[in-house]
Amino acid sequence: MRVISRLMSALMMLAGAIDAAHAVDPRYPDWPCVQAKVPEISLSAVWTGPPLDEASGKWKDNAKISALVARLAPRRTPMDEAEKLVADFLKQAGADKTATGTLIFAGLFDTLNAERGSVLKGLERVTRKQRAAAERIRADTLALQALQGATPPDAGKIEQLGNQLVWQTRIFDDRRRVVSFVCEVPVAIDRRLFALARVIQQEME
């Protein structure tokens, strides 16, 4: 009975964490983060330079800019290194500095927005898995209670299902902790894009 009590307590706590997250914004029932869900980065919030109409998509046609964007976008590239890469690249652009800077930002905006969208979808996909896992744990916990109340109790089945529940609950909790960490990623992407946009615009002046 002690095993069941621990499992039920853990389940209530974990399920409660999901329900609390869902209450943050009813428009996004699968959104698991305390941070508000912003589906896309607002261009006007990060860029005050030339319009991206002509630059959007065209940056891919420039091999050097595509290679630069591929180095700037990943968070594993330190910001000080990324800022220096931008500055050095635009210094070499000469009279084309404005057009080049706009292409660089267009590449970053497209790339980071796509990455961010993928993270958002992944978080909501995990939430749906967590909801299904919680239901399985509830059902298995009730089944374990029934097995323990049977006469005579089947010790083998009780042990097997008990071990299964412990494992399921551990996976549920581990996944919850990972989600908490990943919830910070969209914010980090926003900050990176804003910081790089500021450097690009400063170098374009």
Q: What is the pTM of this model?
A: 0.82
Q: Residue 19 has what pLDDT? A: 56
C-alpha to C-alpha distance for 60 and 69, rounded to whole angstroms: 9
pLDDT in tens, 33-45: 988 899 989 899 9
Structure confidence at residue 20 as a pLDDT band (50, 70, 90): low
- Which residue did the predictor score with more confidence, 59 or 20? 59
Structure confidence at residue 7 as a pLDDT band (50, 70, 90): low
Q: Residue 166 has what pLDDT? A: 87
Three-class DSSP labels, the chain = CHHHHHHHHHHHHHHHHHHHHHCCCCCCCCCCCCCCCCCCCCHHHHCCCCCCCCCCCHHHHCHHHHHHHHHHCCCCCCHHHHHHHHHHHHHCCHHHHHHHHHHHHHHHHHHHHHHHHHHHHHHHHHHHHHHHHHHHHHHHHHHHHHHHHCCCCCHHHHHHHHHHHHHHHHHHHHHHHHHHHHCCHHHHHHHHHHHHHHHHHHHHC
Using the CB atoms, write b or e for 163-201: b if 16+ within 10 Å: eebeebbeebeebbeebeebbebbeebbebbeebbebbb
Q: Residue 120 has what pLDDT? A: 96
pLDDT in tens, 170-179: 898 888 889 9
pLDDT in tens, 53-102: 877 888 999 999 999 999 999 999 999 999 999 999 999 988 899 999 99
Structure confidence at residue 153 as a pLDDT band (50, 70, 90): confident
What share of the chain has pLDDT > 90, as a percent?
50
Q: Residue 16 has what pLDDT? A: 57
pLDDT in tens, 102-121: 999 999 999 999 999 999 99
Mean pLDDT confidence for 8-28:
60
Q: Residue 2 has what pLDDT? A: 52
Q: Residue 125 has what pLDDT? A: 95
